[in-house]
Amino acid sequence: MQTHRTIRWLLLAWASAVMLLGAILTSYHQPMRSPGQKVLQLAGLSSQKRWRAIHLLSGSCGCSQRVMLHLLERPLFNDVEEHLLVIDDDTPYLPESNSLLQRLQQYGFTVRHIAANEIPDDVELRGVPLLLFVSPEGNIRYSGGYGSHYDQDVSLFEQVRSGQSPRPLSLLGCAVGNRLKRKADPFHLKY
């Protein structure tokens, strides 16, 4: 009987540990809410009446790095300003991020770095990578993720430009800023 009780306690402890670690690990790439119109404050957009694609990324986020690679593989959008807003904090960049950002700038993207701790709370930026398409009138026509393979931006833009309102894809990625990182990872397993 003592053996059965010990086995039950071990199984209960194991199941609890697995559920706790599973919850923590899935929190790294939890769906995050897209920000509202105030996120455009970060972009510092010109007054030209053109379509804009804004890619909010981080050099310390593996998902963002995959978006960078995708952007280097596809042609730039025609007649569209493409901006990369790189959210920086005290987390070191992943290897190759600086090189990828330099190549993207040479390729024709406007690259701008923004310190995460300087982003006002009312902007409500929660996570990256985030994709925005902004109309010539300055309205966000799409705010969401890139898709499971980080390559649906082209079809999303075609839909938006033709007047459709595509359903936003889930924003799955990395938390922005130390406050949100502490919330997503209270045990400091990733952040």
Q: Given a cut of 70, is residue 27 above it in pLDDT?
A: no
Q: Which of 58, 33, 46 lies closest to 82 in space, CA to CA? A: 46
Q: Given a cut of 70, is residue 47 above it in pLDDT?
A: no
- SS3 category, 114: strand
pTM, to two decimals: 0.79
Stated as kind and residue range, the H or E segment containing 58 is: none
Q: How many CB atoms lie within 10 A of CB 145?
A: 25
**Per-residue pLDDT tens for 88-146?**
888 889 999 999 999 999 999 999 999 988 888 888 888 899 999 999 998 999 999 99
Confidence of residue 150 (pLDDT cuts 50, 70, 90): confident
What are the chain's domains?
31-184 (3.40.30.10)
Residue 142: predicted pLDDT: 95
Residue 52: predicted pLDDT: 94
Q: Given a cut of 90, is residue 85 above it in pLDDT?
A: yes
